[in-house]
Amino acid sequence: MLKKNLFLERKALPKGAVFLLAFLILAFFLMSLCVSVSGAVAKEPTTLPKSRSVDAEIKSIHYEKVYGTEMVKNGTEVSIKVVLTNISGEIGKSTLTFYSELEGAKGGIMEEVLKSGSSYTMDPQKVGEEVTVIWSGAAPEVRKRTPYTLLNITQETTEGEYLVIDIKKDVTSEISESAIIAIDEAREKLNSANGTIANATEKGTDVSEADTNFETASLYFKDAEEAYWEGWPKESIEAATNASYYAELAKQNAESAVGAKMHLNYGGLAVVVIIAIVVIVFLNRQRQRKRGIY
């Protein structure tokens, strides 16, 4: 559960510790989502060798996509048609096992009805060199981008177990993808602000105000990532938006501080020049008086 005070106003730390803490927080959390928030942790890939006695071709795979992506929209229907070809008669009978993480997954091969976990004894003499598998089910409801197995077929022969086909897709939602985009934008602005503050610090500029806003942005960024992974995309977007705002403000603070220092330096230089001119004019008049000009 997201903390109730997730978006409460932050209190500034002592100025001496602000920049160091903000940098450490940012460095830790930028190591995650690139993201990808950008994305979820992939499932362990199969280690089975590819079948040498049957080929699999995806003839069609239909599903509703999340706008702007190739990912499956959560809660929508998925249908798949796979044709098994070049079935070798030399191996004799083999067992095909079907697995799917779709909800209500079901399918068919020849006249046999299948579901996730079903097995089918394939006899090359009956199916010939080609047989069609149809499959369907609903994509699970998710609160963050998650990879799912739509259809996995393995084959067991007298020689061992082999992979026939493994179809995986990311399942997500519009709001989850919006959260990832918001987190990515916040990360970019934090990186930009961090660079601007670092440059200003190297020039000896007082960046205490920028440090405070940067620390606030970093905390909101942390909230955004935690909310996303805990399945709260709306709250994640809100926190990421706040992170972007304070990161941009921190960058502006650093730029203004550098500009103010430059103006101060130029102003000081102008004063020195004016004083020098006054001194030169005064000394010149003194010399002229001594010569009797006045």
User: Residue 87 in 3-state DSSP?
Assistant: coil
pLDDT digits (tens, 9 = 90+) for 32-68: 444 344 433 333 445 899 999 999 999 999 999 999 9
Kindly report the length of the chain: 294
Per-residue model confidence (pLDDT) at position 217 = 96
The span from the CA of 118 to the CA of 79, in Å, is 18
Residue 179 pLDDT level (bands cut at 50, 70, 90): very high
Q: pLDDT at residue 202 above 80?
A: yes
DSSP 130-149: EEEEEEEEEPPP-SS-EEEE
Q: Which of 18, 37, 68, 41 is nearest to 186 (CA)?
A: 37
Per-residue model confidence (pLDDT) at position 151 = 98
Tokens read off for 188 = 């970019």
Residue 177 pLDDT level (bands cut at 50, 70, 90): very high
Q: How far does CA 212 lie from the centroid of its chain? A: 26
How much is the mean pLDDT over the chain? 82
The span from the CA of 104 to the CA of 117, in Å, is 12
| Beta carbons within 10 angstroms of residue 197's beta carbon | 25
pLDDT digits (tens, 9 = 90+) for 208-242: 898 999 999 999 999 999 999 999 999 999 999 99
**Do 196 and 257 touch, CB atoms closer than 8 A?**
no
The span from the CA of 98 to the CA of 135, in Å, is 10
Q: pLDDT at residue 294 above 80?
A: no
User: Residue 95 in 3-state DSSP?
Assistant: strand
Q: pLDDT at residue 133 above 90?
A: yes
Q: pLDDT at residue 98 above 80?
A: yes
Domains of the chain plus CATH, in order, are 15-31+175-274 (1.20.140), 55-171 (2.60.40)
Q: Which of 234, 205, 238 is nearest to 221 (CA)?
A: 238
Q: Looking only at Cα atoms, what is the longest distance across the chain?
A: 130
Share of the chain residues as helix, strand and coil, in percent rounded to the nearest 5:
45, 25, 30
pLDDT digits (tens, 9 = 90+) for 117-131: 999 999 999 998 899
Most confident of 14-18, 69-73, 264-268: 69-73
pTM for this structure? 0.70
| Residue that the structure tokens 């959560």 belong to | 74
Beta pairing partners, 98:
153
Residue 201 pLDDT level (bands cut at 50, 70, 90): confident
Residue 93 pLDDT level (bands cut at 50, 70, 90): very high
**Do 53 and 95 touch, CB atoms closer than 8 A?**
no
User: Residue 268 in 3-state DSSP?
Assistant: helix
Per-residue model confidence (pLDDT) at position 47 = 84
- The answer for residues whose C-beta is within 8 angstroms of residue 85's C-beta and 6 or more apart is 54, 55, 56, 57, 129, 130
Q: Which residue has the higher pLDDT, 18 or 208?
A: 208
Extract the runs of DSSP E, i.e. beta strands, from the chain. Answer: 55-63, 72-73, 77-85, 94-99, 103-109, 112-115, 119-122, 130-138, 146-157, 160-172
Per-residue model confidence (pLDDT) at position 291 = 61
**Do 193 and 186 touch, CB atoms closer than 8 A?**
no
